Amino acid sequence: MKLTIASKVTIVRICLIPLFVLSYYLCPGTWKLVVPTTLFCIASATDWVDGYLARSRNEVTNFGKFMDPIADKLLVEAAFVLLVSDGRMSAVSCIIILSREFIISGFRLIAADNRVVLAASWLGKIKTTTQIIAILLLLVDNFPFCSIGVPMHRIMEWVAVFFTVWSGVDYIVKNRAVLLDKE
């Protein structure tokens, strides 16, 4: 199997995850805000880059369709677990978000077993965007909003939860035929 440039970018995102985690634990002082946040931004940006490259070069592959969503989930879930472990994120919101991801992954497995391809929706893209914004605000301890007393990190955390649940329900409702047994 020859890897496309888009697939290589996806692999880079996966390789950045351990660096992100290590920097979160090992960087001292202010560097603990700067280095993991920078690595998370770079890794998040590769999601857009690999998608753009695959579509613009007409190189959409099964490897990319399989690994891209896994890379996204690994990155976001790693960030959420780190933030909960530090008490910077609510465990409840993390559990809701992780539960949705497991449910939809299981749903996709059933669809794949039935040879059904489930397209991503605009709600899924909003979900991902709000999760990334929430993670970034949580990583930087609500900067710059902390200076004006607005808990934007908490607001975005729960906005992300809202879109996570909404997109999950929407995904299942629109594709509920996948769950029907065919005899």
Distance separating alpha carbons of residues 49 and 64, to the nearest angstrom: 12
Residue with tokens 């539960």: 99
Parse the chain into domains and list their residue ranges.
1-86, 90-183
Mean per-residue pLDDT of the chain: 93
Band the pLDDT of 149: cuts 50, 70, 90. very high
Residue with tokens 């909960």: 84
| pLDDT of the residue at 183 | 53
| pLDDT of the residue at 113 | 86
| pLDDT of the residue at 102 | 94
What's the number of CA atoms in the CB half-sphere (13 Å) around residue 69?
15
Indicate whether this model's pTM tops 0.95.
Answer: no
Distance separating alpha carbons of residues 102 and 107, to the nearest angstrom: 9
For 133, other C-beta atoms within 10 Å of its C-beta total 17
| pLDDT of the residue at 171 | 93
What's the number of CA atoms in the CB half-sphere (13 Å) around residue 78?
25
Distance separating alpha carbons of residues 103 and 113, to the nearest angstrom: 15
CA–centroid distance for 49 within its chain: 15
| pLDDT of the residue at 59 | 92
| pLDDT of the residue at 132 | 97
Band the pLDDT of 134: cuts 50, 70, 90. very high
pLDDT for 133 beyond 90: yes
CB of 155 within 8 A of CB of 163? Answer: no
Question: What tokens were used for 181?
Answer: 């047994």
What is the rounded (10 degree) CA torsion for 151, 155, 161, 166?
180
What is the rounded average pLDDT of the residues 163-178? 94
| pLDDT of the residue at 182 | 63
Write the pLDDT tens digit of every residue in 73-115: 999 999 999 999 999 999 999 999 999 999 998 988 888 888 8
